[in-house]
Each structure stands twice: as C-alpha cells, then as structure tokens.
Chains A and B, each alone.
Chain A
Amino acid sequence: METIVPKKEWSVAIRLNHWSTVVAIFILIATGFYIAAPFTVNAGETVNKFLMGDVRFWHIFFGVLLVFAFLWRVYLAFFSRFHADWKDFFAWTDKKNFIKQIKFYLLISKERPDHNYLYGPLQSLAYAGLLFLLFLIVLTGLILLGAGYHAGWTSLVYTLVKPFENLMGGLAVVRWIHHILTWCFILFIVVHVYMAFWYDAVLQEGTISSMISGKVFRKNHSK
C-alpha cells in the first residue's frame, strides 16, 4: 500500500534563518536602490527632512542583521544538531546525477534524479554561490559602513576588512561591487522562487510549505 509520510527536512533554526535572510535581503534591495539613486524631496524645510538618513539607518540595521544571519547559517552548516549540511553543498561532485538533473530540468526526461544529498547537484552549486555572494556583499557592506563610522565594533571590524578595501582598489570600487552583487541577488531570487514553485508543482511533496512547517511529504511504498 502507498502511504504519504511527512519527513522533517528543515530544522527550526534553518527556517528562522531562511526567513530572516529573506526579510533582510528584500528590505536591503529596496533601501539600497534608494541610496544608489535617490530622488530629491523638494517640499519642506531641510531641518524637518531626514529621508536619506532614515533609509540609510534601515539599510545598515538590516545589513547588520544579514551579517549575523550569514554567520549563523555558516555555523549551522557545520554545527547544526539536526543536520549539519556542509557536505550537501558538494552534491555537484556526483557527475552522473548532475547530468540526470539537467535532463530533468530541461524536460528531456521525466526521471527524477537520485536524492542522495539534501540538495540537488545544481541546487548545491546555487546555494554555495549564494553563500559566496552573501560573504562578498556582507564584506563590501562592512567596508562601506566602517569607512564612515569610527567607533565601537564598527571601527574594530573596519580595521579587519580595510585590507580588502585596498585590494579591491578603493571605496568607489567597493561601492560598485556592492551594487553589482545586488543584481546577482535579484537574479538568484527569481530563479530560486521559481524553482521552489516548480518542484512543489511537479513533485507534489510540499516544497513551498516545507520552509514553513519544516516537513516534506514522501510517498512510502510498502506492501
């Protein structure tokens, strides 16, 4: 008889981490675009206006949140008590499955690739890439923050990241890289959200809700 069994896939920590990263990234993209190309507020007196100041405050606030979310995610990859998934980021090393996966995605074959790892081969590459993107945007963000704020933890972190500023060729280039990375995130979001919906529709295992409930629904063939 065929039964459908819920299987826990995501721990509470991973889910909290995922959604706090989502909130942070969306707010950072919106505020970031304002900082890059602000519109002028003409009405009112200067003393009563603080739009860029406020936008920068929230950008920095969620930026720091993203720093901690990133560090937390890396920590979970190695030390999660539920499932430390650092090995799953190497799912792409399975060449045979990689080709199977591409065929599945290109709708050439209906055969579902093996599920040896937590992530599919392409998925593992995408997520490893995302972590790298996060690292870069957090690094460039901390440089841009530290350059203008010379006290407390910020200045301490700034002394650590300053060599990267020189390596990249100055603040202007750092700022430029920060802007390019934003678009990489936007591209990632489009593909990531689509793939989640696609999996949910094709496999019907509850992929979308798994990031909320933590469970996927697997068919269990037993006689």
Chain B
Amino acid sequence: MGRKSKYENTISKQYGELMAYCKGHMEQMDKTLPEPVEDFQTLLQERGISRRSFIKWTSLMTTALMLPPIFRPMVAKAAENFSRLPVVWLHFAECTGCSEALLRSSYPNVDDILLDTISLEYHETLMAAAGYQAEQNLEKAINDFNGKFICVIEGALPQGLDGKYLTLGPKGKTGVEVAKEVTSKAAAVICIGSCSSFGNVQAAKPNPTDSAGIGDVLGITTVNIAGCPPNSANFTGTLLHFLMFGALPPLDSLGRPTWAYGKRIHDFCERRPHYDAGEYVEEWGDGGAMKSWCLYKVGCKGPYTFANCSKVRFNDGVSWPVMGGHGCMGCTEPGFWDTMAPLEKPIADTTIGGGEKTVDKIGAVLTAVTVAGVAAHAGLSAIKHRGQNKE
C-alpha cells in the first residue's frame, strides 16, 4: 500500500463518519419500521434475480448516489427495507404515465421489484378499493403512519375555479384540499414527474385551469423527481437515500436531487463528440443521422436540460431518446413545453408572435432598416451642412 495523501485521509475520515451515521440510522429504522410482508431475498429468487444481478444493481445505485463502494452493503440493506417504508401515492391532474413507466418493463429488474413490492398504503390506479372505502383507506393510512409515511405525488394541481377543475372521491374534495391534508402529515413529499414538480403540460400556455406544481401551490418544499416520465432509478435512489440517512438527498434550486439532476444531458451525451466536431444531423434520415451524429440542429434540448438520462438511460440501460435518434426535449425543466418549443428545431429558430418571424429574421430586417435610415440621414446631412466649414 502506498502512502495516503492528506486529502485521501480527510476523505476517508469523512466517509467513515458518514458510514457510522448511516449504520446508526439504519439500526434505528430497523426497529421503528413496520415488519416486512415478504422476505426480500426470497422475493428476488422468485422473480429470477440472481444474487450476482442484485450485487451489480447495488454497485450501480451506490455509484449513481455518488457514494464510495464501501456503501454497497448499506444500499443492499436499504433495498431490503424498501418495502417496509409506508407510501401514500396521490394522483392529481396527470396521465398516470409515471406510474406506468415505473411499473412496466421488458423484464423485472431490481428497481421494478422494489417498486412492485413498495408498501403502498394508497394508490388510486392500483388499489382494489373504491368510493368511501378508498377514502377510509387513505384516512387510516395517514393517521396510522402520521409523520412517518412518504407522500408521493403524481400530477399537477389546478387552482382555477377554487380548484374545482379537479375533484376526487365520493366527497368531491378538490385536489388542493387532498394535497394539503395528506402532505401536512407526511414525513416527506416526493413529486414524481414534471406535472407535480413544475406543472408540465397542464401549466403550459395558456394554462386555462391555472395549474401548477405541488411545491408552488402549497408553498412546501418537495423533492422533485422531474421528467416526463422520470427514470425509475432516480425515484428508487432518492428513497434509498432516505432509508440510509433518514434525510432527503441534497437538492438543487428547483428541488431536484443533485445526484441525478446536477449535470446537463449534453455534458454526458454519447453524441457530444459529434457536437464538438461540427457533425450535425441536418434532417431526419440523412447521412448524418445514419452515422449517429449530433441532433443539435434538429432541436435537441440536451444543452439546456439537467438530467442523468445520458448516464443512467431507460429500460435497464437499453436506450434513451438521443440514443434512439431523436433529440432531448427537455422534459425535466420547468415550463419545457413553452421554453423548449419548437421541439424539433434549435432555440434560435423560435418564432415570435406566431408565423415565421424568428429573431434572426427580425434582427436582419431591423438592421437593414437602420442601415437604410443612416444612409438617408447621411444624404440629407450632406445637403443641410453643405459648405458650412469653407474657409
């Protein structure tokens, strides 16, 4: 072993302390959390996940959470405790696409099993109960696990008509009322998807229902797992972090976990070398597209989008939009339907006031008018000031 530098010593000391804290917290959690319904290891075996695949998955999650390898056993332990964390899952103005994205996959991986076995106390799409019974379940869940459950929210909240654009259940409560009631008793609120995070398409112009994200409507701090839909790894990672440290991961200024949304898609894109080389797809299906060149000129919004899609990818790392040949449309950013439009053209081609008027066209016309104006002024000045300085 070589000698360790002062930096390395500091780092290992810091991680040692973090490790001790993590261990202490997880022992505490072990006692307080409800007993698991099923044993996690047998569950994995039943679903055909080998021990090896599980260990590989823990390595991936540890790295994704930006922790050193010594934390792998803790991630594994947290995964075992995953199904013991009570979760109340609310749906507001949305398409259930996020739930679908998390629940469906080509074949089950560890993320999916975690989400399949998650202790859902209430989930409007998946629960068997209906009407008053469903309402009772929700009340029971939030009272039984008062201050202990995680509230996951999918969908934006319409505020127009006193919130009556969205009513839920037999009592006809508005979305805003339900959200207030449940989030006030939750240990943490996790907004899944861009709707609950920032409003998404419901809040796009002209926004007739006056929809907005949960944090904006209720004025509370939420963890925003943005994306349309978000990557399941970003959600499981955030819950794992909560299980391991009893706290939510560090968030950026828009409430998104920095471990997942700290860097731009563009910076880790596999097509980035083509961007720097000046190799662009000019139109769909051209020679550049066949050679997987950069999609900047066909409207890729990766340079303006903070997300880890290019690193984690979707469907077990099989692919992601840019790999599939279409540019990123910036779905993790607030108001992306408005700010990223037109989705298949670069930002420079955004039109003003409809029609064909881009900034470049307006600018060129204004410059031409100015040049003509000064030329005319020069001509008139020559007449007006003629001979004034004759000596």
Contacts and interface: CB of A to CB of B under 8 A. Distances in A.
A, B co-complexed: yes
Nearest to B370: A190
Contact of B278 (A38, A180, A183): A38
Interface of B is mostly: helix
A41 B293 CA distance: 11
Contact of B374 (A49, A148, A182, A190): A190
A107 B367 contact: no
Interface stretch (B60-68, B111-119, B327-335): B327-335
B108 interface: no
A130 interface: no
A37 B346 contact: yes
B80 to A, nearest CB: 34
Contacts of A170: 304, 330, 333-336, 339
A166 B253 contact: yes
A202 B264 CA distance: 54
Interface string A31-44: 00000111111100
Nearest to A182: B363
A176 interface: yes
Contacts of B5: none
A187 B389 contact: no
Contacts of A7: none
Nearest to A40: B280
Contact of A198 (B266, B280, B377): B377
Nearest to B277: A49
B279 A41 contact: yes
Given A36-B348, A147-B264, A163-B253, A46 B274 contact: yes
Given A171-B304, A194-B374, A198-B378, A110 B277 contact: no
18 contacts: A36-B348, A40-B280, A46-B274, A46-B279, A50-B276, A56-B276, A148-B264, A169-B334, A169-B335, A170-B330, A170-B335, A171-B333, A176-B339, A176-B350, A179-B347, A194-B378, A198-B381, A204-B389
Interface of A: 36-42, 46, 49-53, 56, 107, 110, 147-148, 150, 162-163, 166, 169-173, 175-176, 179-180, 182-183, 186-187, 190-191, 194, 198, 201-202, 204
Interface of B: 253-254, 263-264, 266-267, 273-280, 282, 287-288, 293, 296-297, 301, 303-305, 330, 333-336, 339-340, 346-348, 350, 359-360, 362-363, 366-367, 370-371, 374, 377-378, 380-381, 384-385, 388-389
